[in-house]
Chain A
Amino acid sequence: MKKKIVSVLLTTVLLASCLSGCGGDSASADNTSAGTSESQASAGTEEKVGAQITVDKSATDNVKVEGDFSGADLTVFIYAQDHEKTVYQTLIDKFMETTGANVTFEVTTADEYGQKILAYKAANDMPDIIYVGPDTVAANVDDGYILPLDEYVSEETIADLWPAITTAYRYDGKEAGKGPIYCLPKDLSTFAFAYNKTLFDEAGVDYPDPENPYTWEEFLEVCGKLTIDKDGDGEIDQWGCANALQWALDAFIYTNGGHFLNDDYTQVVIDGQQEFIDAFQYFADLTCKHGVTPTVEQDTALGGYQRWLDGQVAFYACGTWDVGAFMDENTFPYEWGLCAWPTGSTGVSMTRNGSVGFAVSADTQYPEAAAALITLFSTDLEGQRVLSGETTGASLQIPNTMSYAKGDFKDRIADGTIPYGDNVDVIFNYIEGTDKYEGIFVETTYTYNADWWNEFLSGGYEYVLTGEKTAAEYCAEVQPAMQAALDNANDMKAAASGQ
């Protein structure tokens, strides 16, 4: 009998441990959501938003397609959300109907795209049209995978694209930013800063002025006023801001004149570089010294993105792809506006731009047809109207064509057709650049791979945010591993380009 009781007790205890796995999903948030959406800056990966947007196929009825490509057989392989897929499928249908070409459209997820493209490359069986980001243009050109487009796309079309985009997709065999253009953009995104107007009103703090970005000191002061124990239980439950280091650190480093690499991207130069160290330390002090962001522990429990959506933080990053979500009352029931990232010693507010582009395979038998199709994807006005929110009411990107972006698009925001946060000019300022704003492609864009940056991220930077290490100590510690990874990347580039 005794043994039976012990047996029952033993199994019950272990059963309890088994069942515990079924009870954890009490909160509604996923702390990786910000990372997912941000890491695919150019892809507009808000699943919640994607699921809510419906695209009326008749919206592209007026698409104009010219040319006769009878007999051409193209394969398009990209990653896309459902609404994007619908837009592109509609454009493809129109293209096939008008030109006589046959198009096979294959779509995957952003997560799986890299692996699948790798498989295509290894099998020497590249689709005719693929996605290529600015950071992989050089590698793809060196390996002979993609075609220069200047010969197939009109100068007029290229001239109407944002200069930031065309620069990102040029490569002359040695340097990025020069030479022929290899992609037409799927989008151009920028990582602006946003503030929750409701929280500002409640705290009685003036809204930020987009014309006069905060200095770091001013930003800290404002964040202090917005960091509040709202329910008086002795614990902070509203913070001035929340920053995910992998996406937000750039905005602090570059505005302070700092940089990770030397001018020719061969040396990691963070150890002892005062501009970099000061910026990183300021970034960390916001958390560990001033407490105006959630702590590292709190951040692992619930990421900044979800805290922003829950109205727990006053400032948060806002990518152009986020606008649709932030304007959806069910997702974000607050008033909000765009503002500048705070400025360091340069006095210029800086942030990262992002993009992904349509490229044509160098092996395609139908370069003209492929180029015509990507021109349609990238610049067709009706398609741009859908993706930028004019016909859907949810903006996931700014238009690729400047004529539409600066004209109708802005007008539709002004008259409320396209729901948008206040101060849309902040986005344009980062994209076009002004004396107070500058959007840039980060340094990983210009190196063969991002391993050196991954070394920075996996070296334990969290200890700087917790205050257990100083920024200077961390930079000294992690630089050798970053340098080794960069050397390796440069060796790979040399092997690929035969330099």
Chain B
Amino acid sequence: MEGKKGNKQKCKLSAMAKREERWGLLFVAAPAAGFLIFMLYPIIFAILTSLTTWNGAKGFQGMMDRFCGFDNYVKLFADKKFWQTLVTTTIYLLGIPIGMILGLLCAMGMNRKIPGVRVLRTMYYVPVISSLVSVSILWAWVYNYDYGLLNTIIKTLTGMHGPNWLGDEALIKVSMIIFMVWKGLGTSIILYLAGLQNIPRSYYEAAMVDGATGWQKFKNITLPLLSPVTFYILVTTLIGGFQVFVEVQVMTPSGNGGIGYSAATIVFYLYQKAFESFQLGYASAIAVILAIIIFIITLINFIGQNKWVKTMD
């Protein structure tokens, strides 16, 4: 009986509840619709496209007329350029730990009361908010063989001509990594700074009482308590690292992917296939494989986080 009564009571409140419910649904509808239209639909469309040899012609029907099963994937795994660009993309990821270490060091430096620290913090963040295309052009000039800042410094200091930073298969990768570290440093610094400022001073005071050295405090307090920030930076930069495109397009001579395609990333290759060769099916297959790779790596990160990510709780 009580249960029925309870139900009735619920029904009595329903006028107001329904109104709230409607509003609630409306609020939920916006992000849900956004997800369906801008995420789920394109994902399904891309997967479907990857099973065709569609070149963009004749809309959806044109696409389905060119169904080819898993042919694109078979071709992709035998495609040397796919593997070459995947390896290059992976090499670029070496910049992530470098950027994280430098970011942490800078953040620790800026977490002290030193003159002009606010100005420094702002300046380090400038590359992050600058247009990627603009700073890529700028760095292409820094690396310029004859007129670049780097080679001018090298020539001034050593009297010898510096290397061809963007014209050598190995050096162009190094150049790209340096640029990407520079570009992303500001983000790491800001996040680490916020993390550092969140660590209660009492932890360090207690450690001091126990006679801990600076290194011990860093190793046993700072690093563990920054691990959530480190985890966040790792996950986001890994995802971003697999999607490098603009730097390659802008910094390689004539946007050709560098000598022997040595600087080309997987997304650069995808772009060329989609918008220069109009092989949308093949490009979608690359996109699907890339999405799977990113998904697996992110999954591994999340599974592994229990082992090294610590919180203050």
Contacts and interface: CB of A to CB of B under 8 A. Distances in A.
Interface of A: 3-4, 6-8, 10-11, 14-15, 17-27, 31-32, 35, 114-115, 118, 121-124, 139, 143-145, 246, 296-298, 300-303, 449-451, 454, 457-460, 462-463, 481, 488, 491-492, 495-496
29 contacts: A4-B114, A8-B109, A8-B114, A10-B105, A14-B124, A17-B182, A18-B126, A18-B185, A21-B138, A21-B139, A23-B142, A24-B138, A26-B141, A26-B147, A31-B253, A32-B254, A32-B255, A118-B56, A121-B57, A297-B167, A300-B145, A301-B144, A301-B145, A450-B276, A458-B260, A460-B169, A460-B259, A481-B81, A488-B279
User: Which of B139, B149, B166 counts the most A-chain CB atoms under 10 A from its CB?
Assistant: B149
B102 interface: yes
Contacts of B126: 18
B307 interface: no
Contacts of A14: 102, 106, 124, 185
A3 B112 contact: yes
A122 B56 contact: yes
A124 B277 CA distance: 19
Tell which of A114, A144, A297, A459 has the most Cβ of chain B within 10 Å: A297
B256 interface: yes
A459 B261 CA distance: 7
Nearest to B144: A301
B98 to A, nearest CB: 12
Given A22-B138, A24-B141, A463-B260, 13 more contacts: A6-B109, A11-B110, A18-B126, A31-B253, A121-B57, A122-B56, A246-B254, A296-B167, A300-B253, A301-B145, A301-B146, A495-B53, A495-B66
B120 interface: yes
Nearest to A5: B114
A313 to B, nearest CB: 15
Nearest to A451: B277
Contacts of B56: 118, 121-122
B127 interface: yes
Q: What does DSSP make chain B's interface, helix, strand, loop or mixed?
A: helix
B59 interface: yes
A7 to B, nearest CB: 4
Nearest to B115: A8
Interface in B246-277: 253-257, 259-261, 264, 272, 275-277
Contact of A302 (B112, B146, B260): B146
B19 interface: no
A19 B280 CA distance: 41
B260 A18 contact: no
B135 interface: yes
Contacts of B114: 4, 7-8, 11
Given A20-B149, A25-B141, A492-B53, A297 B253 contact: no
B55 interface: yes
A123 B63 CA distance: 11
Nearest to B121: A11
B168 to A, nearest CB: 9
Chain B CB within 10 A, most for which of A27, A300, A302, A495:
A300
B195 interface: no
A302 B253 CA distance: 10
**Main SS of chain A's interface residues?**
helix
Contact of B55 (A15, A25, A115, A496): A496
B53 A143 contact: no
Contact of A4 (B112, B141, B147): B112
A481 B80 contact: yes
Contacts of A122: 56-57, 59
A301 B120 contact: no
B115 to A, nearest CB: 8
Interface string B264-296: 100000001001111110000000000000000
A298 B166 CA distance: 12
Nearest to A31: B253
A45 to B, nearest CB: 14
B55 A11 contact: no
B4 interface: no
Given A20-B142, A27-B147, A143 B57 contact: yes
A10 B106 contact: yes
B58 interface: yes
A277 B115 CA distance: 65
Interface string B72-94: 00000000110000000000000
A139 to B, nearest CB: 8
Nearest to A114: B275
Contacts of A449: 277-278
Contacts of A454: 272, 276-277
A451 B164 CA distance: 28
Given A24-B138, A458-B257, A18 B124 contact: yes
B39 interface: no
Interface in B109-162: 109-110, 112, 114-115, 117, 120, 123-124, 126-127, 135, 138-139, 141-142, 144-149
A288 to B, nearest CB: 14
B182 A18 contact: yes
